[in-house]
Amino acid sequence: MSKLPADSSGLAPYAIDAAASRGRRHAETPPADSSFELDRRRILHAAAFRRLLHKTQVFVTQESDHYRTRLTHTLEVVSAAQRIAAGLQLNVTLAGAVAMAHDLGHPPFGHAGEHALNELMQPFGGFEHNVQSLRVVDYLEHPYPAFRGLNLAFELREGLIKHNTPYDRPGRTQPADDEFGIGELIAAGPLPPLEAQVVDLADQIAYSLHDVEDGLMQGLLNEASLNDCRLWRDASAPLRTGWRDVPLLATRRPILDALGDRLCEDAIESSRRRIAAAGVTDADAVRHAGAALVCFSDDMRAGLTELQQLLSRQVYRHHSVVRMDAKAQRLIRELFNAYTREPQLMPPRFTERIEMQGVHRVACDYIAGMTDRYCRDECARLFDPQRWD
C-alpha cells in the first residue's frame, strides 16, 4: 500500500513538516502512515469525537436543536484554523487535526462541568480539559489492540497540552507520575508549533462569533447592544445600510461572515509581520520564540476583547445560563460522590483501573466522558425512585 504524501509541499520553513515529525509513542506494524492525515482520520473515528455532538457549548441543547454543541464548535474551529494556516503556509492538515482534538477532554455541560470536576479533584491533582484531551487520545480511547490510545503524532499531542486562550491555560495540572509524557511535550519548548498557535486564535474566533449568533437567537443580545462594540459596528454598517427594514436575525449571517473574514485576515497579516520580525527559521525556533507568533493586531485584539466582554455580561452571566450551570454542577457533584463512595456503580471497564489510578481519577474520567444526556439519565437512574432501569 502506498503512503500518503507527508504534507511538505509548499510549506514555510518554520512550519511542521510531517516527514520531520518527532514520531509516535508506539511503533506500529506495519509502520503508520507518516502524514498527519492519519491523525485526522483517527480523531474523526474516535468515540470521544462523536460524543461532542451531545455536549453543551453554552446553551443546553434541550432548549433548541439550533444552538452550538461542542461538535459544531469544533468544526467551526477547524474551518478557521485551516484558513489561517493556509494563509501562513503552515501545515493545514496538522492545524485541522489539532483543532478537531482540542476539546475532546471537555466534560458535559461546558465550562460549568469543568469547574465542578476541577473543584472535586483538587485533592487529587485537579482537572483541566487540555490535560484531559491528551488523556483521551493517549489512554482512554482504546480502539487498537496493539496499544492504548490513538498513537497520535508528537506535534499534535503537544498542541493539545499547550492550547492557550483566555478560557484555557496550559500546564495548570499535571499528574504526579506523568504517565502520558507531559514533561516531554513541555520540554520541547515553552510554546507550541505555529499550527497549534493558529488553533488558539481560531478557537477564539469561532466561539466569539457563534456565541453572538446563539445569543441573538436566545434573545439575550440585540442590535443596540452589539452596536456598542466597534467590531460589530464596522462589519455590520455597510450591510445594514441596504437592509434597514430587515430584522437583524435575517441578516446576522452575512454580518458574522464579514466579521469572520476580518478576524481571519487580520490574524494572517499580523502573524506574518510578527513571524518575520522574530526571524524564526524552523519549528524549534518557534517553540523558543519567547512569545506567541500567531496573533491579532493590537486594534483587532482590543475590538475582540470588547465583544467578548459583552458576551460575558449578557450571555455567559445571564440568569438563565447561570441557573443551568448551577444545576449541571450539582448533577456532576452528586454523581462523583456516588461513584467514589460506591465504585461498583461504574462499569467494569472503569472499576478495573481503580487499583492503579485511584477511584477519584477513575470517577473523573467516567464523568468527563459523558454527554449531557447520559449524565442526566445516569442521575435519574441512580437517584430517581421512579426509575428502575
Q: What is the pLDDT of residue 207?
A: 94
State the angle between helix axes of 194-218 and 248-278 in degrees (0 to 180), rounded to the nearest 10: 160
**Hey, what's the cell of 128?**
483541566
Q: What is the pLDDT of residue 283?
A: 96
Q: What is the pLDDT of residue 4?
A: 39
Count Cα neighbours of 276 within 13 Å in the Cβ-side half-sphere.
7
pLDDT tens digits, one per residue of 163-194: 886 656 555 454 545 666 788 888 888 999 99
Q: What is the pLDDT of residue 175?
A: 53
Instruction: For residue 183, give every residue at least 6 positions away whose Cβ sits within 8 Å of its Cβ, in sequence order, or none.
Output: 174
Q: What is the pLDDT of residue 239?
A: 86
State the angle between helix axes of 70-87 and 194-218 in degrees (0 to 180), rounded to the nearest 10: 130
Longest dimension (CA), the chain: 67
d(CA 304, CA 308): 6
Place of cell 445571564: 318
Closest listed residue to residue 130, CA positions, set 172, 81, 96: 172
Domains belonging to the chain, first-starting first, are 25-389 (1.10.3210.10)
Task: Collect the ranges in the chain with pLDDT lower than 50.
Answer: 1-6, 172, 174, 176
d(CA 76, CA 207): 8
d(CA 341, CA 8): 52
Q: What is the pLDDT of residue 2?
A: 33
Q: How far is CA 72 from the centre of its chain?
A: 11
d(CA 312, CA 110): 15
- What is the DSSP secondary-structure string of 207-269? HHHHHHHHHHHHTS--HHHHHTSHHHHHHHHHHHGGGTTS-HHHHHHHHHHHHHHHHHHHHHH
